[in-house]
Structure 1
C-alpha cells in the first residue's frame, strides 16, 4: 500500500548541496511524504567545493516566496552564509541535519584537518533553530570537539559555543526504508524464530562475546537473549555445508579501513579455513590499492566484487550472506549494517563509534585479533551464524517508526 502524503499546512524548503547517497535518500523520502515541499539540490561531487560555495549558489537559485515556513538542510551547507545573503530565509524555522560532522571526521594527522569546514558547521548551528544528529555519537563527538577546535584560533577566541548549541540539539535516527525481503531469503533464514530484542546498553543478559563461539553455546537455554538457536527441523543440510559467506558493504575508501578487513581474510585463507566473500559498496575517484591486490589474492573466495546498481541484486547478496563485517574508522550511523541485519546477517562491528549505540555487546569486537578469532570460529562452524537470531530491532530505525518525529520537526513552531 502506498503511503499517504502528509499535509502540514506550510511550505517546506529542502536544500541539499550534496545530493547523493543517504543525503539524497532522505531528501527524496521527505519530498515524497510531505506535501508542499520545494527542493533545491546540487549533484554529489566535489564535496569540498559544495561545502565552500553552495550557499552563494542557493542564495541566487531559491526564489523569494512568502509561503516558506521551514528550511531543512544538511550540515554540508553553510547555513550562516545563506541566511546572511537571504535575510528573508532567516525568519524561517531552520532545521540543520547532521549525517556526519567535520570535527570528528577521521584524518591521518590532526594538522591535516581543514579548520574552515568544522568552523562553518559551528556557525550553521548557531543560526539554526533545531540541530538534528542521526546518533548520540555524532552529537557528542561534535559538541565535545568544539572547544579544542576553537583553540586553533590564534587569539580572541569565542567561548562556550558548545553550551550555546547543545540546547538546540536533538537525536533523530536516519530513517531507513527496509523492503520486504521474504522472497529473497534462503530457507534457513525463513525458518528462524522472531528475535528477542535487548537494549544495546543493557549487557546484563549477554555473555562475553567469545562465549558465543564456544562449542557449548548451542546448549544454552533458549530464554537467553544472546542464545544461538538450534537448527529448525526442515533446514536443508546443504545450508550447513556451504562455506561461510562474509559480506563487506561499505564505501571503498580509507576511512572504512579495508586494510583491516582484507588482512583478516588473508589470515583466514592462510589457515585454509573455508569462506566466501562479497565486497560491495560504492567506489569513487581514488580507490585504495588494497582492493586490487586483495582481489587477486582472494580470487577463489570471491562471490561478488564491486558496486551493485540494482537494489534487488544488492539485497539478494545480503540475504545470501551469513556475516556482515564493519571495520570502519568512521561511522556516524551505518545504514548498510542495518540493511544487512534486516536481511538476516550476523553483524560484527568495532566496539567504538556509533556501533555500541545500536548493537548489543555480543556483536562487537575491540581488537583486530578479536575480529579474526570471531571469524575463524564462524568459518569452522558456519551454522552458528546461520542459526543465530540477531537481537537488534531494526524496525525502530524505519521510516514508519520515525515519521511522526519528522512531522514534528518540519512543522512550523517548536520542535
Structure 2
C-alpha cells in the first residue's frame, strides 16, 4: 500500500518538509501529487476539487494520506469518500486564525474555517510548534463569533481537535549536520542577516529602521537580505536597497541552497522582526550555522530561543545591534547551546508505520 502525499503549495518550507520525508522514507512506496507554490489563496479555496480528479481510486491502494493544512481535507473526503479508509495526517505549518491582516476587510472567514473543518476530518493533526497549536485552539471560539446565528458548540470542536493533535517541530537537523562550509567569518565588520519572505507580516520596517539609524550614526556593518519574493513586495525593500547600498553583501533570493547556507554560515547575527511566525525555519538554520539569533519576545520565539536572544522593543533591537557592531569578536565568542536533535526528521518516520 502506498503513502499518498498531497501538497497544494509545493515551495519554501512546505517543499523542504516533503523532500525530507521522501528522502528518509525510502523503503516505503510513496506517491506525491503537488501544485506549485503560487496564489496560495486559490490553493486553499479550490485545490480539493483538483486533487479529487487526480488521485487514483483507493481500492486498498493507500495506507496513509499526508498533507499540509492548505488543502481542505473535508472537501476532498466529500468528493472522494473512498479516500477515508486511509489514515489521514494533516501538518500545520501555520494557522489562518491569527494571521495579521492589514485591514479588517482582508480577514477571510473561509480560510480559517477550512482549516477547522480539515482538522475535524483528519485522523491525526501535527503542528510545527506549541505556539501554533495553542493559538489555533484558543482562537476557534473567536473565529465563529462573526457567524450571526446557529453557531456550533466550539467547546466540542476544540476538544475533538485537541485530542488528536501533537507538536512535531519542523526538521532541519539531518540536512544541516552534513554541511561542511569551512571556517566562520573573521572580519572586523559585523555581518547582519535577514532571511524571511518579503511580505508585510515579517515586519521589514522595524528591521530596516534600526539599520537606517545605525547607518546615520556612521557605524560600519554588512547586511545580507535573503528570502522569497512574491507578486507584491513592500516598497521599503527598494528604499533600503538604496539607503543601505554601501552595506549590502547580498540583497535578494540566493540562487542555490549551497549559496544560501554559505551566507548564513558567514553571518554573525540573524534577525527576526516578524509579527507572524509559527516556527521560523531560516532563523533556526542560521542559528545552527553559527549566527546569533535576535528575536522579538512574541509568537513562537520564546518557545525556541533562550532569554539572551530575545528583545522586547524596536529600541532594544537597535541597541543590541549597536553593541554587536561595536564588538563583533565578543559576539562571536558567545556560545548558546540548544538540542538541535529535537528538530529531527526521525519522529516523522514513525507516522507511516
Which one of 160, 163, 168 corresponds to residue 164 of structure 2? 168
Q: Is 1:84–2:84 an aligned residue pair?
A: no
| TM-score of the superposed pair, with normalisation by structure 1 | 0.81
Partners of 1:348 and 1:365 within 8 A in 2 = yes
**Which residue of structure 2 lines up, in the alignment, with residue 234 of structure 1?**
none
Residues 114-263 of structure 1: pairs in structure 2 closer than 5 A: 114-159=108-153, 160=155, 161-176=157-172, 177-186=175-184, 239=186, 242-263=188-209
Secondary structure of the equivalent of 1:13?
A: strand
**Which residue of structure 2 lines up, in the alignment, with residue 229 of structure 1?**
none
1:383 Cα deviation after fit:
1.3
Q: Is 1:15–2:10 an aligned residue pair?
A: no
Partners of 1:95 and 1:128 within 8 A in 2 = yes
Aligned partners of 2:183 and 2:152: how far apart in 1? Answer: 55
1:274 Cα deviation after fit:
1.7
Which one of 48, 61, 70 corresponds to residue 55 of structure 1? 48
1:102 Cα deviation after fit:
0.4
Superimposed CA distance per residue, residues 84-117 of structure 1 (whole angstroms, 9 cap, x where no aligned partner): 1111111211111100110011112344210001
Q: Is 1:409–2:345 an aligned residue pair?
A: no
Partners of 2:188 and 2:329 within 8 A in 1 = no
Q: Which has the larger radius of gyration?
A: 1
Distance 1:15 1:346, change over 3 A: same
Distance 1:259 1:86, change over 3 A: same
Gaps of at least 5 residues in structure 1 are 1-9, 189-238
1:329 Cα deviation after fit:
0.8
Gaps of at least 5 residues in structure 2 are none
1:184 Cα deviation after fit:
2.8
Aligned partners of 1:178 and 1:395: how far apart in 2? Answer: 11
Secondary structure of the equivalent of 2:96?
A: coil
Secondary structure of the equivalent of 2:35?
A: strand
Which one of 264, 279, 289 corresponds to residue 318 of structure 1? 264
Aligned partners of 1:181 and 1:91: how far apart in 2? Answer: 41
Q: Which moved more, 1:174-183 or 1:139-148?
A: 174-183
1:410 Cα deviation after fit:
2.0
**Which residue of structure 2 lines up, in the alignment, with residue 365 of structure 1?**
311
Partners of 2:24 and 2:349 within 8 A in 1 = no
1:389 Cα deviation after fit:
1.2
Q: Which moved more, 1:344-353 or 1:307-316?
A: 307-316
1:269 Cα deviation after fit:
1.1
Superimposed CA distance per residue, residues 386-411 of structure 1 (whole angstroms, 9 cap, x where no aligned partner): 11112233232133xxx1x2132223
CA RMSD of aligned residues (A): 1.3
Aligned partners of 1:60 and 1:181: how far apart in 2? Answer: 41
| TM-score of the superposed pair, with normalisation by structure 2 | 0.95
**Which residue of structure 2 lines up, in the alignment, with residue 351 of structure 1?**
297
- Aligned pair count? 346
**Which residue of structure 1 lines up, in the alignment, with residue 16 of structure 2?**
25
Partners of 1:325 and 1:347 within 8 A in 2 = yes
1:32 Cα deviation after fit:
2.4
1:264 Cα deviation after fit:
0.2
Aligned partners of 2:179 and 2:341: how far apart in 1? Answer: 14
